Structure 1
């Protein structure tokens, strides 16, 4: 790409005036150009942001009065660009206030309304300081703006409630004081409030309604709106319904919404799915963020996966954590006891819940005998326990696959935890420890250990092990264990420990160029290629005619790229037939859209190289075996 990698002496003169004929030419490369050329790239970046709202965030590093006015417009008028505008206003609050105060005090019209709205999104103390620089009259007028009753802040023209939003047909909303439910006229007003609300700036009346009404009913009401909207055809102009889920929803909303988010892109509903991701992030409970992280890891559609990853990164950044550290903290304990069990009380009988290596719950009686199923309840107390177990199975099923996959990827990528993190979020977690105790762990000093039934640590000869305070801990790869691997195999066999994924028995391969060559020319069904995505690979962005001709795996600072022919058609994976593995190579940067110099396969390191060969063997094994 010329602007990201072309000769500087040729590119820099083009920056002040170059604009493509089609806005579609703009893409993420604009941000690379901004980083490369700084202020000189501003005309290019501004033009890209004006023509492509998705690139509004490319202007985040820049600040000027003109950009402040532009961001006020994006904030009030372009819904998809609003999050980027909010970020810009927050980052450049003082400059934005200085630039927008004159417009907010100017002639009535669009520019004034936009400036007022943007100023109200800024800290009041910052706005007042900026206004004071324009004199006492300006300061007084701005004080009046800031003191305005938020209930009077309404759009110039209120929307008409859609025909499908019939108050009498929606779930009732009871008042907290027990005096009854909202009358139909109030429900109609609530619908209007939701229609004029924005996710990051709800109408002030929503808070009053939330304080007066039953939270469960409000969540059910919002879900009723969603179902009515979808039944009526899901008009994109009324997508405020998805924001309503965020404003009124709860963990039950999260559980209902997640499967729809994952399914919508396959039905042409990518925009709905991304809005759903924003709703999960806005609900913000541990369950919501856990489900959001799950979408970021296992969504089949690249756009949805990317949107979820961005939201998780945003939340993690706000907490000073990495996405992986946030994921550690989001694993729910489901009310389990410290030893990872749960007792179900049937009154006259009690049952104990345990978990297997895949976190599937099972039930035993008081004698320890495992039952095929929890008995049907015959009394009120038993009914509560039965429903508790039913909900537990459903919730854990969602969590289990993600956690097993996450720990396997931690082994492959070499992720490490501090001893305190390991003890708190892994070995000490009531649910995760069922997986943790079925794995061998490696220490930065070369030692290895396992977590025993009593949660102490033991080495390969079953002697107590003390974890050094200054060490780091990771899931041991067989290549980490070296000569200790056979001993660990014997320990796990003796204790009949079943592992959650292949670890001690994992196949390993030498990091040689010859190991790769045997896959070249192999014809692999497209669905098997797509199976690599469950192992941490990702496809390139769609190219001409929506075809993806490369799939990659990032390993530290390097990237393994597999070239596919004829490529995978987005929306019809099998449409172009089997995929020939045309070329396999290692690059020095993890960018699918440019081609830095190749690196030798050995540069990956023994573990990463072995895992690449293992993945390719799994998808191409019948072909590779016959070559």
Structure 2
């Protein structure tokens, strides 16, 4: 059996080799030294879509019967080095014997860097499955021995990223060894400071920051020839306080790389110099340093045709070198972000000229195919392109994922968040809340989190700040000037536009410019009106979604933050007047009020109301109101002819059915059958997500609300990703759980009651809202399976 398995494995692997089949055959049938495995397997390549599944599964059978012998170690090396780890995990997936393979490889005469490369293949084939961490842990524990010191220094330089990370982490611990061993470990780490890998760079920043006594070495790196070393030294210095301040200041004066200069300024806690503080001559000198060494070649695709001239606000024009250095600052940034060096070079330049430059650079980039290698254009366009760039970027973000360019769409979303215009953040927020492609949606959420962290506020507070005014005054009016005549546009409480001329005549829409109008003013005003109409549609849609979310989970504002958002913002002012607000204490409703058009507050009995100090204000829910109060508010709104901007007082209310309060499973919808695509799209629009996917199959949907410490999972008969349109599914039950202590996949396992809430323990508002959402999602059910529990 052993020989038969060997021959079958060899046959299955060799037949998949695109090149180097003879070398692979010779390697697998050899019984000699494994020392030169990397060289022997170098000629072996496989086609891009080849996955040796059968061979890997045969190897798993071989391991179960004969263990990790020399032949299986050869197979592991072949899979990792020749096949780049494809499906390598199937060799060990029975029992997940990571320690076994690690020990077996170390007992051969494979060099340690090669052993780590083999384990890297195993790690990569598991990633991003949680089991990949087991590979990393087994490798770390097995080679964390001083006897491997010399080989670890080699591995830190030569292995794949996985091996380099393992080696560096272990060497960091070895620096505490006495005498020559500690010095050798330190030298091994410092030898890697020129590594261009972002993962290794980030790891080195963390490791080196833990050695402030090496400050002299970091000062030397600031003078190094390699950009990666200088960048690393600057980022490490930023974590050491003022230890290297003189060295950083000296380095900044001569630094040529815009990316490194930005890192040094960050370490020195410096932004762009205020206008006028640095003479134009010094800015030209800075531009010369940035462009030194023929770096303009990277911009040649832009410079073949003339670019817009940049005028200075105090007169004259900026030099072409200064313009090109401004572009180079983003070209060399190496990440999607804001360049402080560029901000310094942009001091004193007319903003309209910068916007025109950004527009032209973006258009040329798009015409050239929007190549990934020049994606620095995205943050440059977002930062300097102004309001006109926002719809262009959002259009591209919508189009790219549909053409298999999800990654560049994610970069564009990240870049859009760096725009200084509130409308840009509003667009990012809309993408984060509701976007077809989850990869881009996640990138938008991350961009917002980053923006909030920089400001030191919560995500919801950021969302409040970025609600635009769209040019309306505090009383909800905006004037459009045509020269001889003008028009006032008023935003009504129903969020519609009411247009009147200066003579008092009303219009359904803003008239087109006439012969007697000022051509420039009228054309600009009409264009601004059309842009405003588009923006208001987006704003209203987004804010309705935010208010629905705030209503569902009881988000509360302080008195000051409520006034800033709902009284002083003309858009949200209109929303506020149609809704019933509550004052809450520790999550419990104390009283209700309404915001009136004249700015006063009114009770259900139409008496004037004053907000108490330190009030927490949220949207009142019918589940909290007694029938008299509920009917009183409905009557008041009817008397004032007010239509609510979101469904509030007429919201259906749901409570646990009598006798089910102690149940941990909500079975109200059990057995409902409907099209899976319908269920998926309805739930996603309500803020739910598809559950874990295994082999293309999934059987749960979930939503989590961390601020409440609540999550809910809906179980159903399951479907295949991509096959939703034609699949009819059966809904089972829903379970409420605590997301901070429960993995979403575990909340409905054998210990369901330990990790989930009884229905009676779920807050009344949250329970009602979840049932309401599930009612809406299953409304298209065409039949019910009464025996769904038996078929589950």
Pick the TM interval, shorter chain. 0.7 to 0.9
Q: State the 1:269 CA deviation.
A: 1.7
Q: 2:612 aligns with which of 455, 468, 480?
A: 468
Distance 1:492 1:116, change over 3 A: same
| Structure 1: distance between partners of 2:399 and 2:342 | 30
Q: 2:298 aligns with which of 156, 161, 170?
A: 161
| Structure 1: distance between partners of 2:700 and 2:477 | 45
Cα offsets for 1:488-523 (capped at 9, x unmatched):
111111211111121111122223459633343422
**Does the 8 Å contact 1:265/1:301 carry over to 2?**
yes
Q: 2:640 aligns with which of 466, 484, 495?
A: 495
Aligned to 1:584: 734
Distance 1:71 1:605, change over 3 A: farther
Q: State the 1:244 CA deviation.
A: 2.9
Aligned to 1:116: 230
Q: 2:710 aligns with which of 558, 564, 568?
A: 558
What aligned pairs does 1:271-286 form with structure 2 within 5 A after superposition?
271-286=407-422
Higher mean C-alpha deviation, range 405-414 or range 245-254: 245-254
Distance 1:252 1:540, change over 3 A: farther
| Structure 2: distance between partners of 1:41 and 1:604 | 47
Relative contact order, higher structure (CA 8 A, sep 6+): 1
Q: State the 1:248 CA deviation.
A: 3.5
Distance 1:621 1:198, change over 3 A: same
Task: Please tell me whether residue 432 in structure 1 is matched to residue 572 in structure 2.
Answer: yes
Higher mean C-alpha deviation, range 207-216 or range 451-460: 207-216
**Does the 8 Å contact 1:69/1:99 carry over to 2?**
no
Q: 2:685 aligns with which of 534, 540, 544?
A: 534
Q: 2:126 aligns with which of 14, 18, 25?
A: 25
Q: 1:77 aligns with which of 196, 208, 222?
A: 196
What aligned pairs does 1:166-565 form with structure 2 within 5 A after superposition?
167-168=304-305, 171-176=307-312, 192=328, 194-199=330-335, 206-207=342-343, 209-211=345-347, 213-246=349-382, 248-356=384-492, 359-365=495-501, 370-378=506-514, 379-380=517-518, 381-444=521-584, 445-483=589-627, 484-512=629-657, 516-540=667-691, 542-545=693-696, 547-555=697-705, 556-565=708-717
Task: Please tell me whether residue 601 in structure 1 is matched to residue 741 in structure 2.
Answer: no
**Does the 8 Å contact 1:409/1:535 carry over to 2?**
no
| Structure 2: distance between partners of 1:159 and 1:472 | 57
| Structure 1: distance between partners of 2:730 and 2:620 | 34
| Structure 1: distance between partners of 2:464 and 2:339 | 35
Aligned to 2:267: none
| Structure 1: distance between partners of 2:422 and 2:187 | 35
Give the unaligned 5+ runs of structure 2: 1-95, 104-115, 145-154, 176-184, 257-285, 748-754, 786-792
Structure 1 counterpart SS, 2:570: coil
Cα offsets for 1:82-105 (capped at 9, x unmatched):
9x939x95x888536654742663
Structure 2 counterpart SS, 1:433: helix
| Structure 1: distance between partners of 2:371 and 2:674 | 43
Distance 1:27 1:440, change over 3 A: same
**Does the 8 Å contact 1:443/1:472 carry over to 2?**
yes
Structure 2 counterpart SS, 1:599: coil
| Structure 2: distance between partners of 1:336 and 1:526 | 41
Distance 1:566 1:626, change over 3 A: closer
Higher mean C-alpha deviation, range 69-78 or range 120-129: 69-78
Structure 1 counterpart SS, 2:310: coil
| Structure 2: distance between partners of 1:341 and 1:299 | 32
Q: State the 1:568 CA deviation.
A: 5.3
| Structure 1: distance between partners of 2:469 and 2:130 | 42
| Structure 1: distance between partners of 2:330 and 2:228 | 20
| Structure 1: distance between partners of 2:394 and 2:344 | 28
Aligned to 2:781: 623
Cα offsets for 1:36-91 (capped at 9, x unmatched):
9xx99999xx99x94499x99xx9xx999899998997997346x59x939x95x8
| Structure 2: distance between partners of 1:232 and 1:330 | 33
Aligned to 1:610: 768
Q: State the 1:439 CA deviation.
A: 0.7
Structure 2 counterpart SS, 1:317: helix
| Structure 1: distance between partners of 2:163 and 2:612 | 53
Structure 2 counterpart SS, 1:225: helix
Structure 2 counterpart SS, 1:282: coil
Larger Rg over CA atoms: 2
Distance 1:154 1:374, change over 3 A: closer
**Does the 8 Å contact 1:524/1:619 carry over to 2?**
no
| Structure 1: distance between partners of 2:186 and 2:582 | 52
Q: State the 1:118 CA deviation.
A: 1.8
Q: State the 1:469 CA deviation.
A: 1.5
**Does the 8 Å contact 2:221/2:230 carry over to 1?**
no
Distance 1:424 1:608, change over 3 A: same
Distance 1:624 1:368, change over 3 A: farther
**Does the 8 Å contact 2:673/2:728 carry over to 1?**
no
Aligned to 1:5: none
| Structure 1: distance between partners of 2:475 and 2:469 | 11
Q: State the 1:13 CA deviation.
A: 9.5
| Structure 2: distance between partners of 1:106 and 1:71 | 9
**Does the 8 Å contact 1:104/1:113 carry over to 2?**
no
| Structure 2: distance between partners of 1:68 and 1:522 | 66
Cα offsets for 1:231-263 (capped at 9, x unmatched):
333332232222332454333223321232243
| Structure 1: distance between partners of 2:420 and 2:763 | 39
Q: State the 1:437 CA deviation.
A: 0.5
Q: State the 1:465 CA deviation.
A: 1.7
**Does the 8 Å contact 1:419/1:473 carry over to 2?**
yes
Structure 1 counterpart SS, 2:513: coil
| Structure 1: distance between partners of 2:623 and 2:249 | 67
Q: State the 1:479 CA deviation.
A: 1.0
| Structure 1: distance between partners of 2:617 and 2:340 | 48
Distance 1:70 1:290, change over 3 A: farther
Structure 1 counterpart SS, 2:489: strand
**Does the 8 Å contact 2:674/2:728 carry over to 1?**
yes
| Structure 2: distance between partners of 1:554 and 1:452 | 35
Q: State the 1:526 CA deviation.
A: 0.9
**Does the 8 Å contact 1:519/1:616 carry over to 2?**
no
| Structure 1: distance between partners of 2:431 and 2:611 | 34
| Structure 1: distance between partners of 2:448 and 2:142 | 29
TM-score scaled by length of structure 2: 0.64
**Does the 8 Å contact 1:175/1:182 carry over to 2?**
no
